[in-house]
Amino acid sequence: MTNKPGMGVIISSNAAGTLAALIGHLRVPSGVYDPIGESLLVNAPWAQTISPDLVDDTWHKIDTHPEIAQNIREISAEALNAVGYFSRVDKIDGRDVQFFAWQLSLSGQVFIRIIALQDADATTGTGVLISPQPVLVVERDGGLRFSNKAAEQAALEMGLPGALSLTKPSGQRALIEDGENIADWDDIRTVHYGQRIYQWQRMPLPTQDAIALFGQERTREESYRRALEHAVHGIIDLAADGTLTSVNEEAATLFGYDNVRELRQAYIANSEKFYARAEDLRDLRRDLVSGAGIQARDIEMRRQDGSQLWVRINATEIRGEGGSLLGYSVTVTDITKSRQAEYDLRRRQERYRALVQTAGSVILFLDSEGRILEYNRECEWTFGFSWMEAAGAEFL
């Protein structure tokens, strides 16, 4: 099913629904313009204050609304040529309204996001909107007044319906709750969105009785920190049900795959083939679910070509602020060389003991105090005592 807002363009129903959700919850006049089909979608505040003849949540051909057509076309043209934001001030019913516009890519098409700010919002908007980091302007009751391009883009990348969802992360305390004392809010709040991690800082906006939240993604820094802590060769993230959600490039290389996508597909299709013993996989899953955790556990696994791979696994839970389980962070360290060295040492020791035991001469080893440590068969025949009887006895 498609929605045709204008000639020469077809917007999929999924894209149309995403755009409607993106602006529908905002409390300032907001719109999305399709520069190819020359159609405009607006939210309720826009319909109420900017263009009363428009109906919210409906695509409108701007040719049929000459009172806004020229302004929208001009704003769109400037935004398409701008690297970041374009802004201008227009008179609407005798009032100064500052329009901000930027490009929004969705489903292979470029749209123009437009918001209209007045009074204190216009003053705040200039500083807030141009930030390269996600910014949310949130009212005391938790409603989202407006957000910037970076916040909307982050929400869409995470599969969220809009920037408002950033303020209400799944399984965690909302960034702003109705009735919350803003003075008690933490200076920095760390939030998990699936496997992505953001830190939010607040800045009160007294003139608007609201708060600006500035976000900074810390996913990469957190991955580096985990890698340094465990000297890992791979980082694997699991959902709460144990489903593989992400791996890093080092993990793909470790298991002999050309890229992350191939590793994920192979593991999802048949996770058992990665383990030398099926019971190891069952034990790992059991201990994760039970909350026992996994600390420095050595597991024999298999690379893509079937060769042996020994790894040391550490797994920690990722929990939201409310205590709900969001998933697991698993670090994998390649210990194949050290395990092979241990194996080679044992083999040499076994061969040496075999030679000692089968030697035709009396061979025994004493500790520093003259007590018997090793005692071969020739000693047993010569002295008449078994090794069990002689072990620990003083030789002299």
pLDDT at 5: 45
pLDDT band at 4 (very low <50, low <70, confident <90, very high): very low
In the structure encoding, which two tokens stand for residue 113, read together? 């996001």
263-301 pLDDT, tens digit per residue, is 989 998 899 999 999 999 999 988 888 877 788 899 999
pLDDT at 306: 92
Q: Order of strands across the sheet with 59-61?
A: 59-61, 39-42, 30-34, 109-117, 95-106, 85-92
pLDDT at 2: 36
Give the mean model confidence (pLDDT) for residues 327-337: 87
Do 9 and 34 contact (CB within 8 A), yes or no? Answer: yes
Strand 9-12 and strand 2-6: the pairing is antiparallel
Can 2-217 and 220-338 be said to share one CATH topology? yes
Question: Is 157 exposed, middle or buried, given 0-12, 13-18 or 19+ CB atoms closer than 10 A?
Answer: exposed
Q: Which residue has the higher pLDDT, 45 or 382?
A: 45
Give the mean model confidence (pLDDT) for residues 17-32: 93
pLDDT at 80: 93
In the structure encoding, which two tokens stand for residue 267, read together? 């593991």
Nearest by Cα to 214 from 121, 134, 148, 145: 134
CATH of 220-338, one of 1.10.3720.10, 3.20.20.30, 3.90.25.10, 3.30.450.20: 3.30.450.20
| Helix (H) / strand (E) containing 194 | none
pLDDT at 101: 94
Count of CB atoms within 10 A of residue 164's CB? 21
pLDDT score of 9 more than 50: no
Residue ranges per structural domain of the chain: 2-217, 220-338, 359-396
Give backbone dihedrals phi and psi of 79, rounded to 5 degrees, phi first: -65, -35
pLDDT score of 3 more than 60: no
Q: Which residue has the higher pLDDT, 392 or 95?
A: 95
Count of CB atoms within 10 A of residue 95's CB? 10
pLDDT at 187: 65
d(CA 25, CA 287): 42
132-163 pLDDT, tens digit per residue, is 889 999 887 888 999 999 999 988 888 888 89
78-128 pLDDT, tens digit per residue, is 999 988 889 999 888 888 899 999 999 888 889 999 999 988 888 777 777
301-320 pLDDT, tens digit per residue, is 999 999 999 999 988 888 76
* Angle subtended by helix axes 149-157 and 13-24, to nearest 10: 130
pLDDT at 277: 92
Nearest by Cα to 317 from 298, 296, 294: 294
pLDDT band at 389 (very low <50, low <70, confident <90, very high): confident
189-231 pLDDT, tens digit per residue, is 778 787 678 888 888 887 777 888 899 887 766 665 555 555 5
Amino acid at 301: M
Bridge partners (DSSP) of residue 332 are 234, 313
* Residue-wise DSSP of 264-276: HHHHHH-GGGGBS
User: For residue 369, what are the CA distances in angstroms to 230, 379, 391?
Assistant: 42, 19, 13
Task: Count CA within 13 A, CB hemisphere, residue 256.
Answer: 11
25-73 pLDDT, tens digit per residue, is 999 999 999 999 999 999 999 999 998 889 988 999 999 888 889 999 9
Q: Which residue has the higher pLDDT, 22 or 348?
A: 22
Confirm whether pTM is higher than 0.75. Answer: no
Count of CB atoms within 10 A of residue 51's CB? 22
Strands of 149-293, DSSP E: 188-193, 196-205, 210-217, 234-239, 244-247
Strand 372-375 and strand 30-34: the pairing is unpaired
d(CA 325, CA 319): 5
In words, the CATH class of domain 2-217 is alpha beta
pLDDT at 186: 58
Q: Which residue has the higher pLDDT, 23 or 205?
A: 23
Angle at CA 14, nearest 5°, toward 10 and 15? 60
Count of CB atoms within 10 A of residue 258's CB? 10
d(CA 128, CA 222): 26
Q: Order of strands across the sheet with 196-205?
A: 144-147, 135-139, 210-217, 196-205, 188-193
pLDDT at 6: 40
pLDDT at 11: 67
Report the share of the chain in percent with pLDDT over 70: 89
